[in-house]
Amino acid sequence: MNERLESSNEAVASRRRKQRSKGPRAMVTAALATAAFALSAAAQEAGKPAPQFAVDDAAGARAGEFRTLDEEVQALKKLAVDLNRDLFLLEEELLFPASTQVSVFVSMDVGEFFALDSIELKLDGKDVASYLYTDREVDALYRGGVQRLFAGNVRAGEHELVAFFTGQGPHERAYRRGATLKFEKGIGPKYIELKISDRESRLQPEFIVVEWE
Amino acid sequence: MNLSLSKFTVVLAALAATSLEAANPVTGADAPDFVLKSVAGSNVRLSEQKSDVVMLAFTASWCSECRARDAHLAELYRRYRDAGLVLLMVSLDDDRRAAQSVASRLDADFPVLSDPRGETGRLYRIDKLPTLVLIDRAGVVRDVLVGDTTRGGGADERVRMLLREL
């Protein structure tokens, strides 16, 4: 009987020991499980996008900055262009003051009877300009372009301008013609135009030198 | 001693035969503009070739070293013209008929320009023939190659490089 009692006591004791050892282990397991749960919750939270209103503010601020910068750049560009234009006008005024300035322009009309190759200009017997025209430049003149062939300075008084036009005339023959203008240089600037046009009545090109009023 | 001397001579000769990039003052600067009449009768202005790669080749009918180089450049032009390569051959002969003979020899399908007074040659500081000036699409002189550029492939590779640039 004593033996039976001892064995049952032993069984109880061992059961109690087991329970005692299970306790801390269970606590540790529970703690670990809680920690794991907390970590996964935090990871999920981090994966979520930031609240929408914060992102919009940042993007809007950046867009606003770029707009301002762009406007500033455009304003600087405009200033540079305006300064360049003013500089050009001042340079023209310095190099060719109105009191001595004479400018010669070239224009063409239709051009069926004459294909322009080159123009030479003499002012008071001196060579002042010589220009070879490419196909592209001749096309620009046909389309209504006006070229400033020469800009120079002459004293007040009487002067003589002679222009020689070289090219291909009717029937693709080599063609060279001259035109002369005697003009009076006054106080103001003098503008002269060399006009090349077709004279239908004679089926020949016409070269006219005119003064602008 | 004799062997090393002959080797030295060979090296010198090879160097003389290959294309050399001269320290031309126009290199790196905007290509000076000019207009010249071609042997075909039209006028050609350099600035109208902007946006294309230009091979500006200086030659003359009396320059024997130029012949192989000119033929090579003509062939290079035909290969790459659709890619935006332009060849302008400037003859420094005094006589336009001599320039015409250069065009006939090459069966030129590109402008052969006559510079009888040598003005364009002076503009580019040309003091030796043959000389090849390479101009990029922006109109800047990138290379000046003096001598026969057919050997070593130097001109070919530089042209290809310029064509690849946007």
* Domain residue limits, chain A: 1-37, 53-95, 101-211
- The count of CB pairs under 8 A between chains A and B is 18
> Taking CB atoms and an 8 Å limit, are B42 and A134 in contact across chains?
yes
Mutate to test the interface with A, among B34, B45, B119 (most CBs of A within 10 A): B45
Residue A201 scores a pLDDT above 70 = no
Of residues B19, B5, B4, B28, the one with CA closest to residue B151: B19
Q: Which of A23-37, A131-145, B26-40, B152-166 bottoms out in mean pLDDT, i.e. has the lowest?
A: A23-37
Percent of chain B with pLDDT over 70: 84
> Taking CB atoms and an 8 Å limit, are B45 and A117 in contact across chains?
no
Contacts 24+ apart (CB under 8 A), B126-130: B126/B58, B126/B92, B128/B22, B129/B58, B129/B59, B129/B60, B129/B63, B129/B65, B129/B66, B129/B92, B130/B57, B130/B58, B130/B59, B130/B63, B130/B65, B130/B66, B130/B69, B130/B70
How many CB atoms within 10 Å of residue A169? 16
Q: What is the pLDDT of residue B17?
A: 46
Q: What is the pLDDT of residue A115?
A: 87
> Taking CB atoms and an 8 Å limit, are B43 and A118 in contact across chains?
yes
> What DSSP state is assigned to residue B140?
B
> Taking CB atoms and an 8 Å limit, are B43 and A136 in contact across chains?
no
Best mean pLDDT range from A95-109, A189-203, B133-147, B148-162 = B133-147
Chain A residue closest in CA terms to B42: A134
Q: How do residues A73-121 score in pLDDT, each as one tens digit? A: 999 999 999 999 999 888 888 887 777 889 999 999 866 778 899 999 9
Q: How do residues B39-69 score in pLDDT, each as one tens digit? A: 999 999 999 999 999 999 999 999 999 999 9
Percent of chain A with pLDDT over 90: 39
ipTM of the complex: 0.79
Query: What are the sequence ranges of the domains in chain B?
Result: 19-164
B63 Cα to chain A: minimum distance (Å): 28
Mutate to test the interface with A, among B35, B47, B50, B114 (most CBs of A within 10 A): B35
Chain B residue closest in CA terms to A133: B43
CA distances from A167 to A102, A205, B68 (A): 26, 11, 36
Q: Which chain A residues have any C-beta within 8 angstroms of a chain B C-beta?
A: 117-118, 132-137
Q: How do residues B72-114 score in pLDDT, each as one tens digit? A: 999 999 999 999 999 999 999 999 999 999 999 999 999 999 9
The CATH architecture assigned to A101-211 reads Sandwich (2.60)
Chain A CB contacts of B114 below 8 Å? none
Of residues A110, A188, A112, A107, the one with CA closest to residue A148: A107
CA–CA gap between residue B92 and residue B105 (Å, rounded): 16
Mutate to test the interface with B, among A132, A138, A141, A147 (most CBs of B within 10 A): A132
Confidence of residue A5 (pLDDT cuts 50, 70, 90): very low
B119 Cα to chain A: minimum distance (Å): 14
Of residues A178, A212, A182, the one with CA closest to residue A196: A178
Chain B CB contacts of A135 below 8 Å? 42-43
CATH T-level assignment (fold) for domain B19-164: Glutaredoxin (3.40.30)
